[in-house]
Structure 1
Amino acid sequence: MGPVSCILHFGPNFPGAWAKYPTIKSLMGPDPHLKWVVAGMVFTQLLACYLVRNLAWKWLFFWAYAFGGCINHSMTLAIHDISHNVAFGNKQARWNRWFAIFANLPVGLPYSASFKKYHIDHHRYLGGHYLDVDIPTDFEGWLFCTPLRKLVWLTLQPLFYALRPLCVNPKAITEMEIFNALIQFSFDLLVFYLWGLKPIIYMISGTLLCMGLHPISGHFIAEHYMFLKGYETYSYYGPLNCITFNVGYHMEHHDFPSIPGSKLPMVKKIAAEYYDTLPQHQSWVRVLLDFIFDDTIGPYSRVKRICKLASESQ
């Protein structure tokens, strides 16, 4: 495919749903409850850090996978929501950036500022070659093509998500990224000073484990891998949305990225005719199993476009 203008601010259902149901506009804007939910999660993890300080290593990793990592993965999805300015609104963009850094604390590694920098491109250039770093590289598609290799790839997803942007589309380090790193590592040092090494291992291992081979991580594959030809974005309406800020409502999110995750079910309810007939996933665990064992699905199963970089005015 030749170069195309690839400015995808909204998904394919946006024009019809917006025109027919203008009340959807009322759902846009900040979620007043998000900051309190996130604060509660941060302090829950802080309490957990205190409680695991003397645990045996086997129990430390068990709770990191079964509990702490679930919260941390959920926190990364809160950061995803915050990256769309839904914590304090578009007029308080700086507050959203700082609040995302606060939400980042229990994750253990600086993440929020870099995520924001690249996530805007994921929406603007969905599937854009070299622009959307959510797209696996050709090397990943070539190497991880058997069930065992795909299992390894899923396990190492956090590593690929962290390194891929640096290889595919490196960007200059921003001031917010420096602040993110300084605040995060200062927090880690404080936790280490107070309670030792185990809480640090609890936070970081939980993040890495639960963003790898874990039921919640099924959303990484479910969102944009082309399980059916011609459909590149899918929603999931199951119970795991309750702990993932409704990231499963992914078609709705791409149609209306400025609507908080908490209100995306209302989008589907209002404009049901645009979403009920679309292919959807019933289980993120099933998504992972299909990805591993179905020979027709792998890292290559993504729509890739050659995009012209949008001008700043756009």
Structure 2
Amino acid sequence: MGTKVSRNDFEWVYTDQPHGDRRRAMLKKYPQIKKLFCIDAHFKYVVAAMVAAQVIACYFVKDMSWPWILALAYFFGGTINHSLTLAIHDISHNTAYGYQHAKWNRYFGMFANLPIGVPMSISFKKYHIDHHRYLGGDVLDVDLPTPIEGYLFRNSFLKLIWLILNPLFYVLRPLAVNPKPLTVLELHNAVIQVIFDGLIMYFFGYKAVLYLVVGTLISMGIHPITGHFISEHYMYTKGHETYSYYGILNLITFNVGYHMEHHDFPAIPSSKLPLMKKIAPDFYDDLPSYTSWCKVLWDFVFDPAIGPFARVRREIELEQSKM
């Protein structure tokens, strides 16, 4: 567990991200891709069912002992809550109601947020736009670890700790690297969340609230689904900064594994991404990809070539970012 990471810095590049050129080339060769720019008619019902399942689970956990609550939070509730964060990711691209109803998407994101226990939907949207527009951009893409993370978490044991603390870094990193003003919608998100948590407390007790929050925290740390955090952009193959995962867990994570496809066409709903890959196999079949998120996590911890520094990073002029 003491193997040290061999990287001392990010992989700095001086080219633009590849997805814009890929998008133009794909649309030129396969114009039928444009037909996938739509909303997912079933998506809203799936999300509503997941929220309902967690409310029902709260009824049952109120009388459970703590070992059973923690087990349920990890294997069931945490899985649903992590999946709901990925639904929020989809909603942030306006795929629930379309771009013409952006406000509806924002409030539906708050609804999907409810079982997660803490308000995050609107804040995620605010920063996720920059992740797509300035992928790997110094300061602007807060998905990138900070240099201090790269220097501190440099061996297998510390990388494991970094994975466990991942929820903390995702909350604090944007505030430290690229703080943005609080918005009215973020306040709405917080008020709605507090009301929901209060109702869960009133009807089902404090165990139910802790079940939701603890499930969120542990499912964002060491959990099979969290492999997507690493697989999406950590540089396991030199020269590649975005990767897809084509394993079975896509079935319960809104196809977040189709990440190269998603960055190529963020406006396409997650349910349509496998179809897009079938339309344009020559753009995807030869790219490095994964079939196991568990193996991704294992390699991240034990491979000395991988760590928080194993990311492509590029400088972006702040003046350009405001255009």
Decide whether the 8 Å contact of 2:220 with 2:226 is kept in 1: yes
The question of 1:224 aligning with 2:233 is answered yes
Which residue matches 2:203?
194
Which residue matches 1:297?
306
How many residue pairs get matched?
313
Kindly report which structure 2 residues correspond to 1:1-314, keeping only aligned pairs within 5 A, or say none.
Answer: 10-309=19-318
Write the distance in 1 (CA, Å) between the matches of 2:274 and 2:206: 41
The amino acid of 1:194's aligned partner reads: F
Deviations 1:192-236 (A, max 9, x none): 011110111110000000010000000000000000110010001
Gaps of 5+ in 2: 1-10
Deviation at 1:151, TM superposition (A): 0.3
Do the aligned partners of residues 169 and 270 (structure 1) sit closer, same or farther apart at CA in structure 2, a change above 3 Å counting? same
Decide whether the 8 Å contact of 1:72 with 1:207 is kept in 2: yes
Do the aligned partners of residues 11 and 60 (structure 1) sit closer, same or farther apart at CA in structure 2, a change above 3 Å counting? farther
Do the aligned partners of residues 62 and 310 (structure 1) sit closer, same or farther apart at CA in structure 2, a change above 3 Å counting? farther
Write the distance in 1 (CA, Å) between the matches of 2:322 and 2:173: 28
Write the distance in 1 (CA, Å) between the matches of 2:226 and 2:21: 25
Deviation at 1:313, TM superposition (A): 8.2
Where has structure 1 moved over 3 Å in runs of 4 or more?
Answer: 1-6, 8-12, 309-314
Deviations 1:150-180 (A, max 9, x none): 0000011000000000000000000010000
Which residue matches 2:6?
none
Decide whether the 8 Å contact of 2:137 with 2:315 is kept in 1: yes
Write the distance in 2 (CA, Å) between the matches of 1:10 and 1:232: 10
Decide whether the 8 Å contact of 1:9 with 1:254 is kept in 2: no
Q: Percent identity?
A: 58
The amino acid of 1:184's aligned partner reads: Q
Deviations 1:41-95 (A, max 9, x none): 1011000011111100010000000000000000000000000000000000000
The amino acid of 1:217's aligned partner reads: T
Decide whether the 8 Å contact of 1:218 with 1:285 is kept in 2: yes
Write the distance in 2 (CA, Å) between the matches of 1:85 and 1:222: 24
Decide whether the 8 Å contact of 1:226 with 1:303 is kept in 2: yes
The amino acid of 1:246's aligned partner reads: N
Deviation at 1:16, TM superposition (A): 1.8
Aligned to 2:38, the other structure's residue is in SS state coil
TM-score scaled by length of structure 2:
0.94
Deviation at 1:9, TM superposition (A): 9.5
The amino acid of 2:182's aligned partner reads: I
TM-score scaled by length of structure 1:
0.96
Write the distance in 2 (CA, Å) between the matches of 1:130 and 1:288: 25
Write the distance in 1 (CA, Å) between the matches of 2:261 and 2:94: 17
Deviation at 1:30, TM superposition (A): 1.2
